[in-house]
Structure 1
């Protein structure tokens, strides 16, 4: 192999030396002639395979988020676990499971050989084992163990981000499981909840948050019907209270042994993911309006050791662009035995708890896919050569990567910021649950009021405003970002590569659902306006105003220009919201959401840079303001811009620097 490590020697072969007679009798010996040889399937150029590094060592945005949002003792405690997990998700055994899940798609066996309806759903071994990994690694459980108090959520979602690219969307059941567990915890905190409802909810809750794969449940969350995805006001699934059980129902129970519920629910659900889950939470209409219900997916067959679906028929599985390993179905509900969750007629309010948690998961999933794509591109840029020069030295290419990386970092910071807000907001609920259940308080429960986070009193208002912003913007950024990642890899990026480590096309297919699940982008923008003009509008705006001002007022000198510009952007956003008619704001709602997101992400980038005066973090602020058009055009030393872009993408480190990375964290 040549010194460059790229061009293989069989391409050129020396021909025999030739002697020529020169005038005067002198002999001239011609040098060997290197005759080009054709390439073949075994000879010629072969690209050196990229080496994708552990994300903890290679992803600057993840490193900085851990540093910014976790206290030093907690970060030191979780770093070894995250490093080991970062190796595991890239390992050959896990990639083999991903390939199996992608190759062996779920399918339905509706009938037995003798014509009896059974609706047996078959999923791949890869899907099932990936699901088990997620459960055991605590992708839901970390948030409920609450070992680190308010810091449990940012820790959970940093680990979740690393998992996403290898999860093959087993995170979809995780996001619904987390949201439903949060809703059930709220009701279990109410001492007036008694009887079989408490028994059923308590049993389900313990299973949803468990890390024991033999005990743990996942859950579906079903709202979508044929008339529209997010418009639940026209729900056609009907529920009636029917506490008198038939003889067979009285002898049956849920698969966890709890009695069947007193409500009978019938209808049709058009788009139901996690069809292989053990329970479901769904909306149905009663005489009092839209209500929330929960039920086990299966019930025991009296007199046998077998189970059957709890009044559910799987009509068919959906054929989708991505998320192919995830079984998504159309479901017929016929007399499903279920329990009412919360107050009858308040189903939309009840399901909002589920949606807020699920939207954080959706956002981290989107950014996790993008982060994996960027990891592949960085690895490729390190080994790919154009001519005789490394691709990583090409200024225009690295500028493109720098733009992607600062946008990615801003989105990662936004994700973990909102996850941190969730960690603060839910601490009182966790305390109420522990008190109601007679549990001792666990973990670090003190809430820090720092400039990184709003005050505890304001955190809930900021969380409510930024959750739809987070969900709406991260999805669109990740979809566009992964399209760029495919292009950066050229034709290889477009291929459905059997080696799942490098398959960006799969990541791109899978990330596209993030802008649709749990509400489309325009719906998120509308939700932002609902908060801004809602009953708590004054409190929300005051909380945001205090946080932005507090976060920027002490920015060091090198960040002052950025801080002044960000304050100006925030002031302009507030003026637009307060001075324009509601109809015009509705027309421009997506633009308003994007501008608000820019303000918050800009603040977070400044907070990160000022937290330790890190030079690369300051470069990220400069590049963000530059690429967003918020700074004056550069007329000075263009070489400095090239160096800045290199630093933003490739902080000088490699596998040998892992110890230094962990020390820096």
Structure 2
């Protein structure tokens, strides 16, 4: 088994969006990681999930150490991510995996998508390590050159991991209620406060927000600080891990409650821009959440396809039963559409990092849109896959319970769905983001009418009273996301019909559009070519043309 080989959308999409050189470089990595994800990584992930981390607060002599003991399977999975494939390093320096430049975000997210299909939890500290290096590089590169080098190292003796501590007991969504206090000592600062939900609490490099005296109230009063696990003299910093969270999912990694007790810290960037700097980290993390949700959907769909082919019911495989095909169809389509959206946003992020301001504005809205819709859909797809497997799907011997548990986290981390929808509304109010999306994706014949309608609805929404805007933004954000995904599916269809004789991508795009127009529709061509939709494989273009004229 190889997860890259079992994915009907991944390679054709990379054929279109990558340069020929990058496409050639990534192919052996797809083969290697796809095989690992279906084999050794999957075995280690199951072990790590069944043997979660333990907090060791004291050494035998009574010394407070606050260390976290991980199962060896966790360490094996970490080595594959950080060292073997450099998933946290590749965006920050050339040379990773032999790339002559920094690896494009498109490649990073494609490889991470394969990895997460087996190991979801590790993607959290992996993303935070990647994002911490990004924030330091963007806002304080000279001061933190050593930390950036360590966060982006693939050497097991040198590499460090990062974390982002934001949530406090009284202020999760409302970051402006942060109570942690920063005190200036001239050569450094100290932080005092409690962080209620701190993932990867044993990280080497922690970025957090704290209130700077005299700087103002709310988010304006917050500065960003780097809290190292060790002080410059090598002693343990004044950071206590009070307990680890007993989480529903993501059990392979540690999340805990942390007390900062005059912890040594140094400022990052401009203290008056602490929240804005953290927002940059949040937005990239939100795109990572969407990627992880997409990976869970792909794994769930593949598990369902394999089960329905093996399971005989009333004399024939479940896969051939009409109602089962109608159940699987939207799961397949939404998974494929989500992958297109994630890699599109990743490509725009690469352009933004190269100085493209328009791409930067698009990423600003694409990331929350992707998180809003894809993470919600992952909860449904993984739940449907559990039901498809029946009683076995509810048993921990199978992967389905883990997929369901992990899927629910995507809609919570880095902002719940309502918070994300309000962020989309903020983009619309400040930057007319809906207009930018319509300008970017609304000129294709297949989706032009939908985009014109969404543009007008967005304009009308902004004319409503603020309370009504907020009540309506959730549904509108979801429609924006699905319109972007529909457009991208048609872009892929146009590419493949020009360059190949295969009509599969065209069938996917047409079927997705048909179900957007009427969720109760039963698109006959899709059901007639269901095996090709499920697994890849040719769909003659002539048959689709005949169906279009029928």
Same structural fold, with TM-score higher than 0.5 when normalized by the shorter chain? yes
Residues 633/204 of structure 1: CA separation in 2 closer, same or farther (3 Å cut): closer
Paired residue for 1:266? 192
Provide the rounded CA distance (Å) in 2 between the counterparts of 1:631 and 1:618: 19
Q: 1: distance between equivalents of 2:79 and 2:102?
A: 26
SS at match of 2:253: coil
1:404-443 Cα distance to aligned partner (Å, 9 max, x none): 1111111111111111111110123xxxxxxxxxxxxxxx
Counterpart-to-counterpart distance in 2, 1:344 and 1:151: 31
Between 1 and 2, higher relative CO (CA 8 Å, sep ≥ 6) is seen in 1
Contact kept? 2:210, 2:225, Cα under 8 Å:
yes
**Distance of 1:96 and 1:647 partners within structure 2:** 29
**What is residue 138 of structure 1 aligned with on the other side?**
86
Matches of 2:198 and 2:520, distance apart in 1: 49
Match of 1:373 in 2: 300
8 Å CA contact 1:265–1:333 kept in 2: the answer is yes
1:546 is aligned to 2:427: no
Q: Name the SS for the 1:363 alignment partner.
A: helix
Tell me the distance in 2 between the aligned counterparts of 1:621 and 1:565: 16
* TM-score, scaled relative to structure 1: 0.75
Which residue is 2:227 aligned to?
Answer: 295
Look up the match of 1:41. none
For residue 38 of structure 2, give the secondary structure of its aligned residue in structure 1. coil
Shift of the alpha carbon at 1:203?
0.7
Cα-Cα RMSD? 2.2
Aligned-residue offset at 1:120: 2.5
2:384 is the counterpart of 1:484: yes
Matched residues in 2 for 1:274 and 1:138: separation?
A: 18
**Aligned equivalents of 1:569, 1:61: Cα separation in 2:** 29
Matched, 1:282 2:282: no
Q: State whether structure 2 residue 29 is matched by structure 1 residue 102.
A: no
In the alignment, does 2:255 pair up with 1:351?
Answer: no
C-alpha distance in structure 2 between counterparts of 1:593 and 1:512, whole Å:
19
Q: Any conservation in 1 of the 2:56–2:67 contact (CA below 8 Å)?
A: yes
CA shift, 1:240, in A, is: 0.8
Query: Aligned partners of 2:120, 2:235: CA distance in 1, in Å?
Result: 28
Q: Partners in 2 of 1:570 and 1:485 — Cα distance?
A: 32
Question: Does structure 2 conserve the Cα–Cα contact (< 8 Å) formed by 1:569 and 1:599?
Answer: no
SS of structure 2 residue aligned to 1:326: coil
1:494 to 394, 402, 405: 394
Aligned-partner Cα distance in 2 for 1:165–1:641 = 26
Q: Distance in 2 between matches of 1:154 and 1:629?
A: 30
Q: Output aligned runs, 1:46-445, within 5 Å.
A: 53-91=1-39, 93-136=40-83, 137-145=85-93, 147=99, 152-188=104-140, 198=143, 201-243=144-186, 262-287=188-213, 288=215, 289-299=221-231, 308-428=235-355
Distance in 2 (alpha carbons) for counterparts of 1:283 and 1:592: 32
Consecutive unaligned residues of structure 1, counting only runs of 5 or more, are 1-52, 245-261, 429-455, 554-561, 654-665
Q: Indicate the SS of the match to 2:414.
A: coil
Q: CA 1:650–1:165 in 2, change beyond 3 Å: closer, same or farther?
A: closer
Shift of 1:58: 1.6
More displaced, 278-287 or 368-377? 368-377
CA distance in 2, matches of 1:546, 1:118: 55
Query: Which among 400, 421, 436 is matched to residue 525 of structure 1?
Result: 421
1:564 Cα deviation (Å)?
4.5
Counterpart of 1:584 (choices 453, 468, 471) is: 468
Q: Distance in 2 between matches of 1:648 and 1:80?
A: 25
Is the 1:165–1:507 Cα contact (8 Å) retained in structure 2? no
Q: Could you say what secondary structure the match of 1:58 adopts?
A: coil
Distance 1:294 1:243 in 2: 15
Cα distance, 1:148–1:615 mapped onto 2, change above 3 Å = farther
- Describe the SS at the equivalent of 1:265: strand
Unpaired runs of 5+ residues, structure 2, are 216-220, 539-550
Counterparts of 1:339 and 1:145, CA distance in 2: 24
Kept in 1, the 8 Å contact 2:42–2:119? The answer is no
**What is the distance in 2 between the residues matched to 1:218 and 1:600?**
34
SS at match of 2:454: helix
Decide whether the 8 Å contact of 2:362 with 2:437 is kept in 1: yes
Summarize the Cα distance change of 1:633–1:284 in structure 2 as closer, same or farther, 3 Å threshold: closer
The answer to whether the 8 Å contact 1:130/1:167 transfers is: yes
Structure 1 window deviating more from structure 2 (59-68 vs 349-358): it is 59-68
Aligned to 1:230, the other structure's residue is in SS state: coil
Change (3 A) 1:615 1:151: farther
- How far the C-alpha of 1:570 sits from its partner, in A, is 2.9
2:462–2:469 Cα contact (<8 Å) kept: no
CA distance in 2, matches of 1:573, 1:309: 55
CA distance in 2, matches of 1:368, 1:566: 28
Counterparts in 2 of 1:308 and 1:327: CA distance versus 1, 3 Å: farther
**CA deviation after TM superposition for structure 1 residue 171, in Å:** 1.0
Q: Compare CA radii of gyration and give the structure with the larger one.
A: 1
CA contact under 8 A between 2:434 and 2:455: conserved in structure 1? no
Post-superposition shift, 1:571? Answer: 3.5
Count of matched residue positions in the alignment of Structure 1 and Structure 2:
523
What is the CA-CA distance between 1:578 and the residue it aligns to?
Answer: 4.3
What's the CA shift string for 1:2-27, capped at 9, x where partnerless? xxxxxxxxxxxxxxxxxxxxxxxxxx
The CA distance in 2 between the partners of 1:206 and 1:169, in whole Å, is 24
Query: Does residue 648 of the first structure (1) align with residue 533 of the second (2)?
Result: yes
SS class of match (1:417): helix
Q: Secondary structure at the match of 1:145?
A: coil
- Residue matched to 2:409: 513
